[in-house]
Amino acid sequence: MRDRFLPFSPPCLDDDEIAEVVESLRSGWITTGPKCRAFEQAFANKLHSPAALALSSCTAALHTALAVLGVGPGDEVITSCFTFCSTVSVIEHVGATPILVDVEPDTMNLDPAAVAAAVTERTRVVLPVHYGGHPCDMAPLREIAARHDLEIVEDAAHALPARCGDQWIGQGDNPVAFSFYATKNLTTAEGGMLTGSPAFVEKARVASLHGMSKDAWKRYDKGGSWFYEVVMPGFKYNLPDVLAAIGLGQLRKLDRMQERRREAAARYHDDFADLPLQRPLERSGVESAWHLYPVRLLDAAPIGRNELIERLGAANIGTSVHFIPIHFHPYYREKYGWREGMFPVAEDAFERVVSLPLHGGLNEADQADVIEAVRTELA
């Protein structure tokens, strides 16, 4: 057994990020400013996004996107039942009604057939979640949206960098929200990014900082004007330069970290081939971000999911569960009357799924310990 605990997904930071942060601190400009703008531009260039806006979280990006689109009371937003709570919370925050649908059994992404069946005259937005880093099947979702004149807002918290064919997630004009939380493929400690058309992103920029016509950088930098106007009741969602500095360092090594993720995912896939597990897949024509490596125990497994997690923890192997279905949480269950049995694919996955350690700094020796521990329990 390992003598040290192996975290599920620690951040991969080194002297490059430290140097960027020190430079920001020494510059005297620590809130939103030049580092943030450089990070936005570098991020947009990386994904060929039309425009990008750095924000305090992916939740902030999703909330801002819905607010700028004018989604509100009386509107419905269709999204996945198998996601983190913030995907649905932001729908509540704008006063709209979340409409949950089940997921596909292989990718755990939004089921297009279920989406089509859920559309009503009140539907305004389809909000797909790219689970685990594997892109949703966007073609049928875009066809549904076009047929019913709906907006698409993508939750890409797991999907940096991921693509369908030759197009990156975040490359289109529709709003796409990314997460830079500590466990993500790229981190700024806390933070997020919203991509979309230049016109949309500029509206979102105003909304993200109190609805003010000028941000702090423009007001307090040399030559800036003190005058500003509030044009809408906005939010306080801006990303500080100190955190954007971390993002700049991370972005420069993203390709290297992703190469390691892909290598580690491939090794898991090969070494678990004979075990009673359903391994995550990567569909043809898709490049997953491999944010997660979630395995699902089959009926032939000698122990259940919870016991496997306990035994791996005792062996100093960190794991997680992605996710507890939304309709299992008391607030949503009680408010909307959602009950067990409504979304069988997601419910079955929840009972079986466990996410194994996977990150850009996972070395071969540590991964070998994970594989040995899993095989000890399941082989």
Known catalytic membership, residue 222: no
Residue 288 belongs to some domain of the structure: yes
Residue 49 belongs to some domain of the structure: yes
Q: Which CATH number does the domain housing residue 171 bear?
A: 3.40.640.10
If one compares 195 and 229, the residue with the highest pLDDT of the two is: 195
pLDDT confidence tier of residue 68, bands split at 50, 70 and 90:
very high
One domain, residues 239 and 260: no
Residue 302 belongs to some domain of the structure: yes
**Last residue of one domain, picked from the residues 232, 252, 272:** 252
Which pLDDT score is estimated for 201? Answer: 98
Structure-token pair, residue 124: 């305004």
One domain, residues 184 and 289: no
Residue 204 belongs to some domain of the structure: yes
| DSSP structure string for 22-84 | HHHHHHT--SSSHHHHHHHHHHHHHHT-SEEEEES-HHHHHHHHHHHTT--TT-EEEEESSS-
One domain, residues 291 and 235: no
Which pLDDT score is estimated for 89? Answer: 98
**Last residue of one domain, picked from the residues 220, 252, 284:** 252
Identify whether 112 is preceded by a cis peptide bond (ω within 30 of 0): no
Q: Which CATH number does the domain housing residue 348 bear?
A: 3.90.1150.10
Tell me how far apart the alpha carbons of residues 369 and 350 are, in angstroms, rounded to a whole number.
Answer: 25
Tell me how far apart the alpha carbons of residues 294 and 277 are, in angstroms, rounded to a whole number.
Answer: 10
Tell me how far apart the alpha carbons of residues 123 and 91 are, in angstroms, rounded to a whole number.
Answer: 12
Which pLDDT score is estimated for 215? Answer: 62
Residue 48 burial (C-beta neighbours within 10 Å; 0-12, 13-18, 19+) = middle
Q: Which of 35, 46, 184, 203 is catalytic?
A: 184
One domain, residues 371 and 242: no
One domain, residues 132 and 198: yes
- Please identify which residue in the block is written with the tokens 């609805």: 211
Which pLDDT score is estimated for 228? Answer: 81
pLDDT confidence tier of residue 218, bands split at 50, 70 and 90:
low
**Last residue of one domain, picked from the residues 204, 226, 252:** 252
Residue 2 belongs to some domain of the structure: no
Region 75-103: what's the mean pLDDT?
A: 98
If one compares 249 and 224, the residue with the highest pLDDT of the two is: 249
Residue 7 belongs to some domain of the structure: no
Residue 4 belongs to some domain of the structure: no
With beta carbons less than 8 A apart as the criterion, state whether 141 and 128 touch: yes
pLDDT confidence tier of residue 101, bands split at 50, 70 and 90:
very high
One domain, residues 240 and 297: no
Which is it for strands 176-179 and 154-155: parallel, antiparallel or unpaired? parallel
One domain, residues 277 and 168: no
pTM of the model: 0.96
One domain, residues 344 and 231: no
| DSSP structure string for 80-117 | ESSS-HHHHHHHHHTT-EEEEE-B-TTT--B-HHHHHH
One domain, residues 245 and 277: no
219 pLDDT exceeds 70?
no
One domain, residues 248 and 275: no
- Please identify which residue in the block is written with the tokens 């997601």: 346
Domain that holds residue 238: 15-252
One domain, residues 291 and 198: no
One domain, residues 65 and 112: yes
| Domain total in the chain | 2
Q: Where are the alpha helices (DSSP H) in the chain?
A: 15-27, 34-47, 58-68, 85-93, 112-118, 138-148, 198-208, 216-220, 241-252, 254-271, 305-314, 330-336, 344-352, 364-378
3-state secondary structure of 128: coil
Residue 221 belongs to some domain of the structure: yes
